[in-house]
Structure formats: structure tokens, C-alpha cells
Structure 1
Amino acid sequence: MRRLGSPVAGGDRERGGIAVVVAILMVALLGFAALAVDVGMLYAERTQLRNGSDAAALAVAQKCAKDINDADCSAASTLARGLANGNAGDGASNVAALLLDKANRTVTVTAGAQEPGKTPNQVSLFLARAMGINSTDVLATSAVTWGSPVKGPTAFPVAFSVCQVRGHVDGSLQLLQNHGSNANPDCNYGPSGAPVEGGFGWLVSDPGVCGGLIDLAVSEGGSDPGNSSPANCAATLNRWASDLTAGKEVVVLLPVFDRVTGTGNGAVYGLTSFAAFKVAGWKFSGNSTLPDAFRNTAPTVPSSVACDGNCRGIIGSFIKYVSLADGFTLGPVDANGATIVRLTQ
């Protein structure tokens, strides 16, 4: 006669084996939980730190681009530290390192998390403690360079005379003419009838677009003495008009020349820098409506800079301007030109 207790004893052994397997798997499950929870927390912390290091590095570079002697253009910048802290979710981040190389126009900021009572840059972990890992370092590094553009796109096929820029990067309103009886007499470069008789000249646009790629190391050929509206620029001019009507600023980086040879369509411009021009109005042909003319007469603009009748020109001002524009090759800062700051890391 069989004993009924034997199968029960075997079942107990099986249940004991399952308990061992579950115990082993729990270690792996805790490890995966630590990976999901703690790594997610560290990723979020690093994202906040990166926001702070980006903001800090860009701010220092912008200060240096405007004025190399600015108090915040230094490794002790209080602005950089304020931005690193302000961009952290807990407000407890710090600038672990700020390296500034003025000669090479670069700044590198490293931001690290900081918890009260802990070594700077360390963040406490949660489930990873079960695996003996209590905390870990979290850092984010951003690098920015700055300089004046020496090669890149121009949004409009026009170049200005350096005599109109030098000493006038102060926001004062000007009328820059390229056609008219009294067209900027102080800026005549060539003989009578030269396309720069008024202080600026048309450049050759890239096929099918308004403007194109400009390289300051290469002289640019002229395209028109300026008695007609630039080709392929209707959409650009309409957009400028729309922005100005809406109260927005229109600031464009345009090339500056310091010498000219030839006349008319045969003019060749020697380019020296890009300047930031804040557009206020224009008149590019005999028409008095968009896109050829916009805000070119008083009282929309002061009578001293109005452009009417046979006048052909653009109204606006040169300003000190630091841009985040992409697509430019940078060089040393030009006192008369615009500057660009760019994240490199």
C-alpha cells in the first residue's frame, strides 16, 4: 500500500526550488529597476545641467563679442553662474569650471549638480543603493566660439561702402543711396557713373535666389548700377515689410566693401567685413508700392532720410549686433562688423 505523503514531499522540494529562482531573479529585477529609475533621473539632471552650461557659455561669449573687457567676459563671470543655477530644476547647480580663451575666442563651461552636504557634482541614487552604488557624478559641458563672419550667406544682394559704416555703428538712421543727384557725396569711390556713387552697390545673386554666398577673401562682381529693383527679391522685401508692419526688427548681415574697380555691371567690389544693418525702409525702382518701395517718405521716416522721386536707396542704421546665425565661417572680431556666437559642443 502506497504512502500518500511522498508526492507532497516532492512538491515541497519544487516549491523550494522556485523560491531560489525567484530570489535570484529579484536581484536582476532590482537591477533593471535601478537602471530605469536612476538612469532616467540622471538623464533629466544632465539635461537641466546642459541647459545651464549652454546658457552660461553663450552669455559669456556674447559679452566677449560685444566688449572683450566686459566684467562678465572672464572666468569669474557672475552672469554665467547665475544662468547655470537658474536653468537647473532644483536651482542648486553650479559652474564646476569656466575656461576662457580670449585669444582664440572660445569659452567652455562645465556645470555640475550640487547637493547640500555632498561633494559637488554628485547626485544621490535610489534603487541603485541596493547594488552598493549610493551616488554618482553628473556633469555637462558646453563650448562656444565667437568671431566676425568672413564667409557665409547674405540675405540681400547689396554691399555697403565702409565709409558709411566706419564711425556710424551707433544706430543713427541713414539713407544709403546708389542713384540720385546728391547720393552720399562722401562715399564716391569710382569715376562719375560708378555704381557706388551712392554708397552701395548691387552684387550678383546666386541663381534663382535673393542674395547668396559671400566670401570676403574673394572680390565680388557687380550686377546693376542700381536703377532697378533687385531680381528674385520680391518675397524677401515683402517679408521685411510684413515684419516691420508688425513691429518686429529686421536686422540683416550685409557685406561691406572698401575698394571698387570698374563701373556699372563691370564693377568689382573688394569686401572687408559683414555689418549688421537694421532696415527701416527702401526705394529700389520708379514704383512707389511694394515690393519696390516701403516707408521711404515722410512722415513715416524723417525728411532728412526720405527717398523719393529719382532716389534709389535703403533707409536704416548700422548697429552693434551679436547673432546666433548659422552657416558662417568665423574670423577675428572686426570693430565695424557684426559678430556671431556659436555652440561647438
Structure 2
Amino acid sequence: MRRLGQKATPGGRDDERERGVVAPVAALLMVALLGFGALAVDVGAMYSEKAQLQNGADSAALAVADICAKAPMSARCPADQKTQATPYANGNALDGHSNVVSAVVDNAAGTADVKTETPASAGGEHFSLYLARALGINSVEIQATAQARWKYPTTGRAVLPLVFATCEFKDDHSPHKILTHGGGHGAPDCNSSNPSGQIIPGGFAWLKPDGSTGCNVTATIGQWSATSAGGSIPTGCDALFNASLLGKTVALPVYGYTCTGILSPCTGSNVKYMIQKWAGFKVLGWSFPSNNAGPTGVFGPGESGLYGTFVGYSADPSLFTGDSSTSTGNVVVLGLTK
């Protein structure tokens, strides 16, 4: 190609001078194209890998926190939780493989920290690249970290309108029969005293539901909760005890003492209970007039109460608030902090 306005010389010497210019230009453009290809293909793949690792770290941290928060005080989780974390990390990888670098629990702080990365291949490479190899970059190391924390709620909403005596709260993962107050049926083996020294019965009592309708009860640790009028199951709430409740774990408040000797009046429908803890309770059966469920032979003639096991429970954070780091029972709220 001749330059415009330039007179051609005999023999085409201008053409010969400009031959071969396209080759180096094409080579330079090829490097640029490979670079853009690496951005489009490799960086996209890296973002996908990072997302999988992060999901795995988040899932593993929450799972480990859930397990360790529910562990009895007598059997706290060991610090190293890689074995527990690995299935959750692998489950979030598209190829089913992820490497858990570390999974550490701090029981005192209530935290679980997990770090994941792409597994190394036989050649020692981690995440292999494609087009970037032409630029001399064969692989990169991709990692993700997550921390989950468990906190003990102070305020929550119970789906069953009742409260346990603190002496009934035995977090031993064994079934217990807990009788209602009144009617000559208490829990003679589970009595305690209030701050004024009066003896209060064990067992459980019915609470006054929120508002004029429904059966939900909102309770706060360190505050009084009122008894149900007449000391019996609130009107309409007997229907809560149906087949769908069997085997279900619910969060229920635990009282430390009644208002006897502290508030006046404190009899009949004026009785109040000082909320001290929240407990996870797996319902295995019950016995109320005209409503019985669960294994036979648990309740004697004329006995009314619940049968079940106190177990650790992860509460719905939309129903439970407060973030005490001090244990307030075996109900916890889980969340990611980073």
C-alpha cells in the first residue's frame, strides 16, 4: 500500500520496504487479546470459585457454631472442628471438593472461624487458569474466611404459653415428666424458694398470652411474666397440643421464682413469674383432660403435664432478640459476623 500523495518509485521499492509490518503488529495484538481473554474467562472462573468457597465457609461456620452452641456444658466442643466443617464446605463446591484450612471454635467467646481454599492438585497447583497460562500465570490460590457467633437471647416469643420452674431445667438430654402446678399435682422433688425464702412449687405454669387473642407469649429475662387467668391453659390454646407438636423442639421460658413475698397481691390470676432463662424443649408427649399423646404409662391417674427432653435449640432471630454472651439457658441465636 502506498502512502497518499507519495509518488511511486520504479520497481515498487516502497512495497518492499513495508513488507512484514503486519506480523509484529499481529503478535502484539495477540498478546492483548490473550490478556482480555484471560480477564473474561479466567477472572470469571475465579469469581465463581471464590463464591463457592465463601458459601462453603459460611455454611461450615454456621453448622459448627450450631453444633457447639448446643453441646452440654459438661461436653464442650474441642477447638479443632475441621472434621465437622469439611462436609459443609464440600457440599457448597460444584465439584464436591474443597479444602478446609482451619475450623476453630472458641467456646468462651462463642465463635466458630472457618477458612477454606481450592484443593491443591497433584502438581501442587491450586486453582488452575486457562488463557492466562499463555502469559506465564498457571494458577492462583483462592481462599475464603467466615466467622459465626452464637449469642444467648434475652427476649423471645414462645409458641406455647407456659413457663418451667428452674429446678426442672435439666439439660441432660434425657426425657423428663414435668407436671403442672395446682390440683395437688406439683413436683415435690423439685421445689425451690424465692428471694424472700418462701417455698415455690416445681413443674410448669401457664402464662397469659400477648394481647386478647392468640397463644404466643413474649417473655424477657429479668422481667415478670403474668400467669394465665385461673391458672389453667389459656382459652383456645389446647388446640396447640396436636400431632404436629410431637417430636418438635420449641423454646420456652424458665422462671427463677414467683412474686410470693415480693409483690402484692400474688395469688390467683395475680401471680407473676420472674423469667431467668430460655430452654429448648423437645416435646415427646403430654397429658391434659381429654387430650393425651405420646408413650403410654408415663403419667399416672389424674396427672397433667408434659413429657420431653431439654435440648439445645437455635432460635429464629426474627422471634428472639438480645445478644448476651453469658449463658441464659440452652437457646441460642446464630449469625455470621464476617
* TM-score when normalising by structure 2: 0.72
- Structure 1 residues 67 and 84: alpha-carbon distance in aligned structure 2, compared to 1, 3 A threshold: farther
Match of 2:255 in 1: 257
Q: Secondary structure at the match of 1:58?
A: helix
Residue by residue, what CA displacement relative to the aligned partner does 1:294-345 show, whole Å, maximum 9, x if unpaired?
Answer: 42xxxx533342575xx5x432223232426323334346485334543333
Could you tell me which residue of structure 1 aligns to residue 308 of structure 2?
317
Q: Is the 8 A contact 1:173 1:305 kept in 2?
A: no
For residues 94 and 84 of structure 1, the distance between their equivalents in structure 2, rounded to whole angstroms, comes to 8
- Kindly indicate whether the alpha-carbon contact (under 8 Å) linking 1:282 and 1:307 is maintained by their aligned counterparts in 2: no
User: Percent of aligned positions with the same letter in both sequences?
Assistant: 36
How much does 1:186 deviate?
4.1
Equivalent in the alignment of 1:42:
46
**Cα RMSD, aligned residues only:** 4.1
Distance in 2 (CA, whole Å) between partners of 1:135 and 1:340 is 40
- Give, in whole Å, the separation in 1 of the partners of 2:177 and 2:85: 37
Give the 3 Å change call, closer, same or farther, for CA 273–250 of structure 1 in structure 2.
Answer: same
1:342 and 2:332 are equivalent in the alignment:
no
**Structural mapping, 1:177-326, within 5 Å:** 177-187=180-190, 199-207=203-211, 208-227=213-232, 229-231=233-235, 233=237, 237=240, 240-242=242-244, 244=246, 249-261=247-259, 262-282=266-286, 288=290, 293-295=291-293, 301-306=295-300, 308=302, 313-323=304-314, 325-326=316-317
- Could you tell me which runs of 5 or more consecutive residues in structure 1 were left unpaired when the two chains were aligned: 1-5, 7-17
**Pairwise CA distance, 1:126:** 1.5
Stretch deviating more after TM superposition (249-258 or 150-159): 150-159
Q: Do 2:149 and 2:336's aligned partners in 1 also have CA atoms closer than 8 Å?
A: yes
Evaluate the alpha carbon distance shift between residue 330 and residue 123 of structure 1 in structure 2; reply closer, same or farther with a 3 A threshold.
same
Q: Deviations over 1:13-41 (max 9, x none)?
A: xxxxx999999987777666544433442
Residues 320/91 of structure 1: CA separation in 2 closer, same or farther (3 Å cut): same
Larger radius of gyration: 2
* Partners of 2:168 and 2:202 within 8 A in 1: no
Aligned residues: 307
- Structure 1 residue 83: Cα displacement: 4.7
2:179 is matched by which residue type in structure 1?
Answer: L
Residue 79 (structure 2) pairs with residue 74 (structure 1): yes
Distance in structure 1 (CA, Å) of the matches to 2:61 and 2:337: 10
Shift of residue 255, structure 1, vs aligned partner: 0.5
Residue 111 of structure 1 deviates from its aligned partner by 0.5
Q: TM-score, normalised by structure 1?
A: 0.70
Q: Secondary structure at the match of 1:303?
A: coil
Q: Secondary structure at the match of 1:73?
A: coil
Distance in 1 of aligned mates of 2:300 and 2:41: 65
Distance 1:214 1:32, change over 3 A: farther
Mapped partners of 1:199, 1:107: distance in 2:
36
Extract unaligned runs of 5+ from structure 2: 1-7, 9-21, 260-265
